[in-house]
């Protein structure tokens, strides 16, 4: 895994200096080596920072040129089936390999099959840039599920691209201006979704797409090679063949697929391990790794001093049963608080998923022992694991039985009593504590109640589960609109149950916009590669081929994964309410983080930059401090934006329009 950057258009002298600055900005993504390649005649430059994983020799160095001389590539990620692709290439024609890197395999495939077909055959996570010396076309591409990031922007004299914004901002002549729609979408969802960027004029290559750029055109051309809906459609088309098969047979097929993918993703020339939370997803991946390994798998978990957030004992129990070499990190308040000021540098767009803190610390500690870690990310989206997948359709069906006038009245009532429900004196909180229910579930239900009652469509209902500020205008001085959250309007939806619709929406919005951003930036800031077997295209397709009863049944999600895990781990070690990767955010904001928060809230010039309205945010803050409401997530979202604005003032000052008007 690496970092890439490049320019198309500026003069070679200018490009050399700028490209060096671009790759220097993301040194942590590839601390082992760097490389640059220039075509002076066409004013194109490609840069690469290398984190050596496969083929540690110079034969795996980038930028890499094809043997025929036509193509030059910079590549970030892994092609897990590249050995199989090599055999296909060798069967078709003689190959003179220089080494055993997947980058070289990818280049040979492009020569033989073309870029689009090669990417269809390649299974992995990646972002790449390919220069064609014959056509003078620069192609950018990103993996199907959006695991690896890739930004690009039009310059006055050409184009620039990079793995991260901080590298792109070093491109010559780029003067970023804040995007009003990007800010609004961020406030709505807690992250800047696919299809939007925090800066005007900067784009993200969409998952499963190829973007082609040339010096002669100011427009980028886009085409998809394979996207999530293609994988889902393939899976759905196989469901008819599954109808007559027993659940055991279907589980055996899924197990075989997962075993194949985990085996491929365990290929590494450097130390490899696994993240283990003790939940279903990470426990299954770790189980499969250990079952295939001749030595102890290294597993890593993170715990908290506060029991309601601590899953470390569950992870330790699973690790003991499996026999892994387990390392447990206990997250202290001091560790977390020390990390908070650096979050804007790790996440170079505003990002407000507070599990970013334990994720970043877990990656930092794991990197001391391994260079690659497999994770259970994607299991919830692909196999139906979120509470909204399980209870959402039933809530929606019951809400529809209430006349619209009654739902509106209910929404007003829920909005009125919501703050009381989440206050420290709330009976709901006392009941939750009495029955040892997660307080976070009570808080979330209270926050969601007004939106659930007011939703006029199933799409509105879904958004209720995925928003922080349902109406960002309540904290903005402008009326900027956004439609950043990707909502599929596709014929495939007509064949889906309501729960599956939510799973599909999560897969193209929440997954790439939140989960994968969180993990990629945290891991790469620590120079750690993470791999997600559940997001392999073959696993996604296999999951969508399963009947819905093998995903959600009797109020329980991820049924298929649970039954597979039963083959490796006693159910007693796993069965418990879904806890999530949470921190005591509400408490920290009232106590340990209060000084940091109040300093940011006093920076009125930062409010002006983002067109934030001070008074309503101050009211949220005072309500929270006095325990009248748990506004922790809303405040964290605002604070992360203010911290990001403060950290990026040097770039914002370059823009001609500083304020998001």
Determine the Cα–Cα distance for residues 248 and 461; give it in Å rounded to an integer.
35
Using 50, 70 and 90 to split pLDDT, how confident is the model at 417? low
Mean pLDDT in residue range 446-466:
79
Residue 578 region by backbone torsions, left for phi larger than 0, else alpha for psi between -120 and 50, else beta = beta
Q: Where are the beta strands (DSSP E) in 257-412?
A: 272-275, 298-304, 325-331, 372-374
| % of the chain surpassing 90 pLDDT | 70
Structure tokens at 158: 């050409």
Average pLDDT, the chain: 89
Using 50, 70 and 90 to split pLDDT, how confident is the model at 431? very low
Q: Of the ranges 257-266, 357-366, 427-436, 514-523, which one carries the lowest mean pLDDT score?
A: 427-436
- Torsion sign over Cα 577, 581, 587, 590: negative
Mean pLDDT in residue range 496-520:
96
pLDDT at 168 over 90: yes
Report which of 344, 350, 346, 342 is spatially closest to residue 198, judged by C-alpha positions: 350
Determine the Cα–Cα distance for residues 219 and 207; give it in Å rounded to an integer.
19
Do residues 300 and 329 lie in contact, with contact meaning Cβ atoms separated by under 8 Å? Answer: yes
Per-residue pLDDT, 445 = 60
Full set of structural domains in the chain with CATH: 2-226 (3.60.20.10), 246-331+361-384+519-573 (3.40.50.620), 584-661 (no CATH)
Q: Is 339 exposed, middle or buried (0-12, 13-18, 19+ CB in 10 A)?
A: middle
pLDDT at 657 over 80: no
Mean pLDDT in residue range 498-523:
96
Do residues 279 and 311 lie in contact, with contact meaning Cβ atoms separated by under 8 Å? Answer: yes
Determine the Cα–Cα distance for residues 511 and 504; give it in Å rounded to an integer.
10
Q: Are strands 124-132 and 137-142 parallel, antiparallel or unpaired?
A: antiparallel
Residue that wins the pLDDT comparison between 580 and 16:
16
C-alpha angle 540/546/548, rounded to 5°?
Answer: 110
Per-residue pLDDT, 175 = 86
Per-residue pLDDT, 423 = 53
Instruction: Beginning with the edge strand found earlier in the chain, give each strand of the sheet holding 272-275 in spatial order.
Output: 325-331, 298-304, 272-275, 372-374, 529-531
* Crossing angle of the two packed helices 387-400 and 439-454, in degrees rounded to 10: 40
Do residues 523 and 300 lie in contact, with contact meaning Cβ atoms separated by under 8 Å? Answer: no
Q: Is 629 exposed, middle or buried (0-12, 13-18, 19+ CB in 10 A)?
A: buried
Per-residue pLDDT, 15 = 81
- Torsion sign over Cα 314, 318, 323, 329: negative
Using 50, 70 and 90 to split pLDDT, how confident is the model at 41? confident
Contacts with 498 (C-beta within 8 Å, 6 or more apart), sequence order: 392, 393, 396, 458
């Amino acid at each position: 895994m690496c970092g890439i950057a490049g320019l198309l258009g500026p003069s070679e002298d200018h490009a050399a200096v700028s490209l060096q600055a671009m790759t220097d900005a993301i040194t942590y993504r590839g601390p082992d080596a760097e490389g640059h390649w220039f075509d002076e005649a066409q004013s194109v430059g490609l840069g690469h920072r290398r984190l050596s994983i496969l083929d540690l020799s110079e034969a795996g160095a980038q930028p890499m040129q094809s043997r025929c001389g036509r193509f030059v590539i910079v590549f970030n990620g892994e092609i897990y089936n590249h050995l199989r692709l090599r055999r296909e290439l060798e069967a078709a024609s003689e190959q003179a390999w220089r080494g055993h890197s997947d980058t070289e395999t990818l280049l040979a495939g492009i020569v033989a099959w073309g870029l689009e077909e090669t990417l269809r055959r390649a299974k992995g996570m990646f972002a790449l840039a390919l220069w064609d010396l014959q056509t003078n076309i620069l192609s950018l591409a990103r993996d199907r599920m959006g695991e690896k990031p890739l930004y690009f922007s039009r310059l006055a004299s050409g184009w620039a691209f990079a793995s991260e914004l901080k590298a792109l901002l070093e491109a010559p002549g780029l003067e970023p201006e804040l995007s009003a729609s990007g800010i609004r979408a961020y406030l709505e969802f807690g992250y800047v979704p696919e299809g939007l960027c925090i800066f005007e004029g900067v784009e993200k290559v969409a998952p499963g797409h190829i973007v082609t750029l040339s010096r002669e055109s100011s427009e980028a051309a886009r085409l998809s090679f394979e996207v999530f809906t293609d994988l889902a459609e393939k899976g759905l088309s196989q469901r008819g063949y599954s109808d007559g098969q027993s659940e055991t047979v279907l589980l055996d097929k899924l197990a075989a697929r997962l075993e194949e993918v985990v085996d491929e993703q365990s290929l590494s020339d450097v130390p490899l391990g696994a993240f283990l939370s003790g939940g279903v997803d990470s426990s299954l991946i770790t189980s499969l790794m250990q079952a295939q390994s001749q030595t102890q798998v290294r597993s890593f978990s993170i715990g908290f001093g506060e029991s309601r957030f601590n899953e470390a004992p569950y992870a330790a129990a699973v690790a003991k049963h499996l026999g892994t070499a387990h390392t447990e990190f206990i997250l202290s308040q001091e560790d977390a608080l020390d990390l908070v000021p650096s979050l804007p540098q790790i996440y170079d767009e505003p990002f407000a998923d507070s599990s970013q803190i334990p994720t970043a610390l877990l990656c930092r500690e794991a990197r001391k022992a391994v260079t690659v870690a497999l994770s259970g990310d994607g299991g919830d989206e692909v196999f139906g694991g979120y509470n909204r997948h399980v209870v959402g359709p039933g809530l929606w069906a019951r809400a529809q039985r209430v006349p619209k006038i009654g739902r509106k009245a209910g929404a007003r009532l829920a909005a009125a009593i919501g703050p009381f429900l989440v206050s420290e004196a709330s009976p709901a909180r006392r009941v939750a504590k009495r029955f040892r229910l997660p307080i976070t579930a009570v808080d979330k239900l209270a926050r969601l109640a007004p939106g659930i009652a007011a939703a006029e469509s199933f799409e509105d209902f879904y958004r209720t589960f995925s928003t922080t500020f349902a109406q960002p205008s309540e904290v903005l001085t402008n009326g900027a609109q956004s439609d950043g959250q990707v909502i599929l309007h596709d014929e495939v939806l007509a064949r889906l149950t309501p729960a599956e619709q939510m799973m599909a929406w999560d897969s193209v919005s929440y997954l790439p916009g939140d989960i994968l951003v969180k993990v990629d930036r945290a891991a790469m800031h620590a120079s750690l590669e993470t791999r997600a077997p559940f997001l392999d295209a073959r696993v996604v397709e296999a999951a969508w081929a399963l009947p819905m009863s093998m995903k959600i049944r009797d109020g329980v999600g991820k049924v298929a994964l649970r039954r597979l895990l039963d083959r490796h781990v006693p159910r007693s070690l796993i069965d418990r309410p879904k806890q999530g990767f949470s921190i005591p955010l509400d408490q920290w904001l009232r106590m340990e983080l209060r000084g940091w928060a109040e300093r940011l809230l006093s920076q009125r010039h930062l409010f002006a930059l983002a067109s934030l309205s001070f008074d309503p945010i101050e009211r949220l803050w005072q309500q929270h401090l006095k325990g009248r409401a748990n506004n922790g997530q809303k405040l964290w979202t605002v604070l992360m934006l203010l911290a990001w604005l403060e950290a990026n003032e040097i770039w914002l000052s370059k823009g001609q329009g500083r304020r998001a008007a």
